[in-house]
Amino acid sequence: MMKFVEKKSSVCVELFKGERLKIVDVEGGQISSFQCVFKNDLKDYLSSGRTLDYLGRMNFEVGDFLYSNKSKPMLILVEDTIGIHDFLLAPCSRESFKILYEDYECLYGCEENLIASLAEFGVKFDSLPTTFNIFMNLEISVKGSLEVLTPASRAGDYVTLEAKDDLIIGFSSCSAPDSHGGKFKRIGYEILS
C-alpha cells in the first residue's frame, strides 16, 4: 500500500535485506533526497564518491549498485522509469537557502528534515555531505558548469531500490524552490517484500 512523504518533509524506514523500496513521483517534477546506513554499522552510509567511482559514470541504469563509504554494496537499482538523478550535490539546508535564494526563507531543508527523521531511528548525523537526489535533473555542460533544471519526471515515474543488507533509510520530499517545478508536492513510497 502506497504511503506518502508530505511536501517539504521526510520519513525514515527500515528496509531488510532483499526487500524493495519503491519511491514514486506521484504528481511529477518533485525531487526526493535519500540517505541510508547499515543497521549493523550506523556510521557507514551511502557514498556519492565511492558509487560514482565504481560505476564510472554519473548517470544511472537498472542493475547499478549503490555503495557505502566503506565500499560495501547497500542497494541495487532494480526499476527506474526516468533514469535522471543526481549524486553530486548536498541536500538543501537552511544555510543553503540563504546562499542560493534571495527571497526564500525556510527553517528546514532536506538536510535538517533527514537528520531529524534518521535520529528517530537512532542514527546520528551532524551534517549530510551528499545525498542521492532522486529525480533531480542536474545539467552538466561540457565546460563543467552545473545547473539544476526542473525535474524531467512526470506523474507516476518511480525508482525501486533493493536492499543488499538491513538498512535504515531516510528520504524526503525536497524543500528547495529549484527542485519542484513550481509547486511543492508529496512523494509516494511502498515497501515490497
Residues of this chain that bind a copy of itself (CB under 8 A)? 43-44, 47-50, 52-59, 69-71, 88-91, 93, 95-96, 98-100, 126-131, 140, 142-147
Distance of alpha carbon 79 from alpha carbon 47, whole angstroms: 20
Q: Which is nearer to a copy of itself, 54 or 121 (CB)?
A: 54
Task: Tell the smallest beta-carbon distance from residue 85 to a copy of itself (Å).
Answer: 11
Residue 110, H or E segment? helix 110-119
**Alpha carbons within 13 A on the beta-carbon side of 25:** 30
Q: Which is nearer to a copy of itself, 26 or 130 (CB)?
A: 130
Task: Tell the smallest beta-carbon distance from residue 57 to a copy of itself (Å).
Answer: 4
Distance of alpha carbon 42 from alpha carbon 73, whole angstroms: 15
Task: Tell the smallest beta-carbon distance from residue 61 to a copy of itself (Å).
Answer: 11
Q: Which is nearer to a copy of itself, 28 or 91 (CB)?
A: 91
Task: Tell the smallest beta-carbon distance from residue 48 to a copy of itself (Å).
Answer: 7
Q: Which is nearer to a copy of itself, 97 or 189 (CB)?
A: 97
Nearest to 67 by CA among 144, 2, 161: 161
Nearest to 69 by CA among 55, 50, 88: 50
Distance of alpha carbon 2 from alpha carbon 160, whole angstroms: 13
Task: Tell the smallest beta-carbon distance from residue 70 to a copy of itself (Å).
Answer: 6
Nine-digit cell at 81? 522509469
Distance of alpha carbon 162 from alpha carbon 191, whole angstroms: 10
Distance of alpha carbon 146 from alpha carbon 26, whole angstroms: 27
Q: Which is nearer to a copy of itself, 49 or 156 (CB)?
A: 49
